C-alpha cells in the first residue's frame, strides 16, 4: 500500500499533517559519487529527473528579499544552466525583479520529490545581457510573447476580463508582424556561491553535500574553484 493510500485521516476526512510520513529509501549520496564540478553534478541529476518524468524538472522556487529583509518566494522556470550560473526570465518591474535590484542575494530550490531529491542554489543575481534575453524571447511561442506584453506582473488587475481585453488589443496590435521584446522584460542570472545536493535517506539522516566557493563569479565548471562540504541533515 502506498503512502497516499495508507495516510492517516482525521474524523473530518482531512489528513493529519503531523502524522504524514514518506520513507526516503530510493538512493544515497556519498562524496565519491559527486562529479568534479557543480555544473556537471546538476546536469546529471537534472537528466535523471527528466528521464524519470518529474513534472517540470526545471521549475525552481526563487526566494528574494527587499531592502528591509522582507522575503517573498515564487516558482519560476530555469531556462539555462551553464558555467556562469542559472538563468530565468521575467518582467523586470515585478516584485521579484524589484527585490533583486534592492537586494541581489537569492536562493533557488529545485524540488525533485519523486526522486527524494532537492538542489539548493544560493548566490548573487545579475542581469542577463539584453541580446541573450532577446534571443530567448524570440524563441518563445507567439502567445507567450503577447502575454509578456499584456501582464503588468505583480500589479493589481480589476478582473480577468480586463486582462483578457488587454491581451486581445495587443494581439490585434501585433497581428501583422513579429512581437518585439518589451523593454520591461528580461533575464536574471544567478551566480552561485553554494550549490547543495540533498538526497533523502532513512530515519531522516539525509545526505547533504554542498559545493562552495568564496568567489561569486566562479565558473560552475571549474573544479579548482569549488570545495565540497557534508552538512548535518
Q: CA 134 to CA 21: how far, in whole Å?
A: 45
Under a CB-based contact definition with an 8 Å cutoff, are residues 230 and 209 in contact? yes
Catalytic option among 204, 208, 210, 230: 204
Point out which residues pair with 187 in neighbouring strands.
Answer: 89
Q: Is 117 assigned a catalytic role?
A: no
51 to 57, 93, 112, 195: CA distances (angstroms):
10, 35, 12, 22
**Cell 534592492 identifies what position?**
102
Grid cell 522584460 in the structure block, residue = 185
Cell readout for 3 is 503512502
Q: Catalytic site residues?
A: 204
Amino acid at each position: 500500500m502506498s503512502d497516499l493510500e495508507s495516510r492517516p485521516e482525521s474524523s473530518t476526512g482531512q489528513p493529519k499533517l503531523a502524522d504524514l510520513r514518506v520513507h526516503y529509501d530510493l538512493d544515497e549520496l556519498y562524496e565519491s559519487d559527486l562529479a568534479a564540478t557543480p555544473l556537471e553534478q546538476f546536469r546529471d541529476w537534472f537528466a535523471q529527473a527528466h528521464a524519470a518524468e518529474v513534472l517540470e524538472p526545471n521549475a525552481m522556487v526563487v526566494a528574494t528579499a527587499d531592502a528591509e529583509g522582507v522575503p517573498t518566494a515564487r516558482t519560476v522556470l530555469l531556462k539555462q544552466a551553464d558555467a556562469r550560473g542559472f538563468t530565468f526570465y521575467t518582467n523586470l518591474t515585478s516584485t521579484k525583479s524589484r527585490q533583486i535590484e534592492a537586494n541581489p542575494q537569492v536562493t533557488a530550490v529545485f524540488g525533485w520529490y519523486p526522486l527524494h531529491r532537492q538542489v539548493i542554489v544560493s548566490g548573487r543575481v545579475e542581469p542577463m545581457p539584453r541580446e541573450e534575453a532577446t534571443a530567448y524571447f524570440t524563441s518563445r511561442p507567439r502567445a507567450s510573447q503577447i502575454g509578456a506584453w499584456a501582464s503588468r506582473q505583480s500589479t493589481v488587475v480589476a478582473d480577468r476580463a480586463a486582462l483578457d481585453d488587454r491581451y486581445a488589443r495587443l494581439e490585434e496590435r501585433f497581428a501583422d508582424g513579429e512581437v518585439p521584446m518589451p523593454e520591461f522584460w528580461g533575464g536574471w542570472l544567478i551566480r552561485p556561491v553554494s550549490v547543495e545536493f540533498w538526497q533523502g535517506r532513512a530515519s531522516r539522516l539525509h545526505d547533504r553535500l554542498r559545493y562552495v566557493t568564496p568567489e561569486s563569479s566562479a565558473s560552475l565548471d571549474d573544479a579548482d574553484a569549488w570545495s565540497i562540504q557534508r552538512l548535518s541533515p
